[in-house]
Structure 1
Amino acid sequence: MAAAMLSLAGIAASYLLNLSGPRSVPLIFGIIFFVLALSTRIFGLYALRHISQNKSTCLPVIIYGAGAAGIQLAAALRQSVEARPILFVDDNPTLHRVVVAGLEVRPPSELPHLIEKYGIARILLAIPSLSEQSRNELYARLTKLPVEVQVLPSFIDLMSGRSLQTSLRPVSPDELLDRDKVELDSPEIAKAYAGRVVMVTGAGGSIGSELCRQLINCRPTCIVLFEQCEYALYAIELELSELTAQTDITVLPRLGSVKNRGCVARVVAEENVDIILHAAAYKHVPLVEHNEIEAASNNVIGTKIVADVANQAGIERFILVSTDKAVRPTSIMGATKRMAELVVQDIQTRAPKTRYAMVRFGNVLGSSGSVLPLFQKQIASGGPLTVTHPDVTRFFMTIPEAARLVLLAGAYAQGGDVFVLDMGRPQKIIDVAKRMIALSGRTLKETDDSPGDIKIEITGLRPGEKLYEELLITENLSTTPHAKILRAEEVPLSEIEVASLLRSTEAAIASADPAALRRIIEGRVEGYHVPMHASALA
Structure 2
Amino acid sequence: MQFLQPIWSMPRPLKRLVSIVVDILFIVFAFWAAFATRLDGIEIYMQDVSYWKLLAVLIPCTLLVFTKSGLYRAILRYLSLHAVLSICISAIISSAFIVFISYFNYLYMPRSIPVIYATYLVMLCGGSRLIVRVLVSDLLGKQKKKVLIYGAGSAGLQLANMLRQGKEFHPIAFIDDDRKKHKTTMQGITIYRPKYLERLIKKHCISTVLLAVPSASQVQKKVIIESLAKLHVEVLTIPNLDDLVNGKLSIGQLKEVSIDDLLGRVAVTPQAELMEANIKDKVVMVTGAGGSIGSELCRQIILNKPTTLVLFELSEFSLYQIEHELSQIIANQQLSINVVPLLGSVQRLNRLAATMKAFKVQTVYHAAAYKHVPLVEYNVVEGVRNNIFGTNYAAQAAIEAKVESFVLISTDKAVRPTNVMGTTKRVAELGLQALAQVENAKPNGTRFCMVRFGNVLGSSGSVIPLFKKQIAQGGPITLTHKDITRYFMTIPEAAQLVIQAGAMGKGGDVFVLDMGESVKIADLARNLIHLSGLEVRSDENPDGDIEIRCTGLRPGEKLYEELLIGDNVGKTAHERIMTANEEFLPLNEYNQLLDDLDTACHNFDHATIRQLLIDAPTGFAPVDGIGDLVWKAEQ
TM-score between the two structures when normalised by the length of structure 2: 0.58
Give the C-alpha shift of residue 265 in structure 1. 0.9
- Deviation of 1:234 after TM superposition, in Å, equals 0.4
Is 1:180 paired with 2:180?
no
Structure 2 match to 1:346: 434
**AA aligned opposite 1:172:** S
Partner of residue 319, structure 1 = 407
Following TM superposition, by how much is the alpha carbon of 1:187 offset from its aligned partner in structure 2, in angstroms? 2.3
Matches of 1:442 and 1:308 in 2, distance apart?
54
Tell me the matched-pair count. 394
Q: What is the deviation of 1:156?
A: 9.4
Q: Shift of the alpha carbon at 1:447?
A: 3.5
CA distance in 2, matches of 1:443, 1:394: 24
Matching residue of 2:316? 230
Mapped partners of 1:393, 1:182: distance in 2: 23
1:304 to 2:382 alignment: no
Q: Does 2:208 correspond to 1:197?
A: no
Distance 2:560 2:276 in 1: 35
- Whether the 8 Å contact between 2:485 and 2:520 is mirrored in structure 1 is yes
Structure 1 residues 131 and 316: alpha-carbon distance in aligned structure 2, compared to 1, 3 A threshold: closer
The 1-side partners of 2:351 and 2:490 are apart by 32
Residue pair 1:276, 1:319 contacting (<8 A) in 2 also: yes
Alpha-carbon shift at residue 449 of structure 1 (Å): 4.9
Give unmatched runs, 5+ long, in structure 2.
Answer: 7-141, 147-165, 173-206, 209-233, 237-251
Structure 1 unpaired stretches of 5+? 1-67, 73-127, 133-154
Which of 258, 261, 264 is 2:346 aligned to?
Answer: 258
Q: Distance in 2 between matches of 1:171 and 1:184?
A: 24
Tell me which residue corresponds to 1:391.
Answer: 483
Please state if 1:214 is matched with 2:300: yes
Per the TM alignment, residue 354 of structure 1 is displaced from its structure 2 partner at its CA by 0.9
1:363-389: per-residue Cα shift (whole Å, max 9, x none)?
111100011111111111111111111
- Aligned partner of 2:471 in structure 1 is 379
Distance, in Å, in 2 between the alignment partners of 1:524 and 1:206 is 30
Contact kept in structure 2, 1:519 and 1:530, CA below 8 Å: no
The answer as to 2:420 corresponding to 1:332 is: yes
* Greater per-residue helix proportion: 2
Q: Which of 495, 511, 521 is the matching residue for 1:419?
A: 511
SS at match of 2:381: helix
Distance 1:440 1:323 in 2: 31
AA aligned to 1:434 is R
Match of 1:515 in 2: 607
- Residues 280/254 of structure 1: CA separation in 2 closer, same or farther (3 Å cut): same
Alignment correspondent of 1:506: 598
- Alpha-carbon separation, structure 2, partners of 1:244 and 1:227: 20
User: Is the 1:173–1:366 contact (alpha carbons within 8 Å) kept by the matching residues of 2?
Assistant: no
Summarize deviations over 1:36-87 as a string: whole Å, max 9, x none: xxxxxxxxxxxxxxxxxxxxxxxxxxxxxxxx9xxx9xxxxxxxxxxxxxxx
**Structure 2 CA distance, aligned partners of 1:440 and 1:158?**
16
Residue 350 of structure 1, CA deviation: 1.8
Q: Which amino acid aligns with 1:329?
A: P
Judge conservation of contact 2:416–2:621 (CA < 8 Å) in 1: no
User: Within 1, Cα distance between the matches of 2:374 and 2:483?
Assistant: 19
Counterpart AA for 1:496: N
Superposed displacement of residue 226, structure 1: 0.2
Shift of 1:306: 0.3
Q: Distance in 2 between matches of 1:264 and 1:380?
A: 43
User: Could you say what secondary structure the match of 1:188 adopts?
Assistant: helix
Superposed displacement of residue 349, structure 1: 1.5
Q: TM-score, normalised by structure 1?
A: 0.68
Give the secondary structure class of the aligned counterpart of 1:506. helix
Hey, what does 2:330 align to over in structure 1?
244
Instruction: Indicate which of 140, 153, 159 corresponds to 2:170.
Output: 159
Task: Look up the equivalent residue of 2:416 and give its one-letter code.
Answer: R
Instruction: Give the distance between the partners of 1:281 and 1:231, measured in 2 at CA.
Output: 17
Aligned mates of 2:277, 2:589 — CA distance in 1:
37
* Among candidates 247, 250, 271, match of residue 359 of structure 2: 271
Match of 2:372 in 1: 284
CA distance in 2: counterparts of 1:167 and 1:253, whole angstroms: 34
Contact (CA 8 Å) 1:177, 1:397: kept in 2 or not? no
Q: Amino acid of the residue matched to residue 557 of structure 2?
A: E
Residue 169 of structure 1, CA deviation:
4.0
SS in 1 for 2:278: helix
What secondary structure, in the 3-state scheme, does the structure 2 residue paired with 1:406 have? helix
Show CA shifts across 1:266-316 (max 9, x none).
111111100000000000111111100000000000000000111111111
1:407 aligns with 499
CA contact (8 A) 1:323 1:361 kept: yes
Aligned mate of 1:466, from 558, 564, 568: 558
The one-letter code of the counterpart of 1:522 is I
1:238, distance to aligned residue in structure 2 (A):
0.3
% identity of equivalent residues: 49
How far apart, CA to CA, are the structure 1 residues paired with 2:622 and 2:526?
33
Could you tell me whether the CA contact under 8 Å between 1:221 and 1:248 is conserved in 2? yes
Residue of structure 1 equivalent to 2:548: 456
CA distance in 1, matches of 2:353, 2:253: 51
Question: Would you say the 8 A contact 2:593–2:612 is kept in 1?
Answer: yes
Question: Aligned-residue CA RMSD in angstroms?
Answer: 2.9
When residues 219 and 130 of structure 1 are mapped into structure 2, their CA distance, relative to the original with a 3 A threshold, is closer
- Partner SS, residue 474 of structure 1: coil
Contact 2:365-2:409 at 8 Å conserved across structures: yes
Name the SS of the counterpart of 2:299 in structure 1.
helix
Alpha-carbon deviations, 1:304-343, whole Å to 9, x = none? Answer: 0000111111111000000000001001100000010001
- The answer (yes or no) to whether the contact 1:169–1:440 under 8 Å persists in 2 is no
- In structure 2, the residue corresponding to 1:468 is in which secondary structure? coil
> In 2, are the aligned partners of 1:171 and 1:440 still within 8 Å (CA)?
no
Distance 2:541 2:565 in 1: 46
1:294 aligns with 2:382: yes
SS in structure 1 of the partner of residue 430 of structure 2:
helix
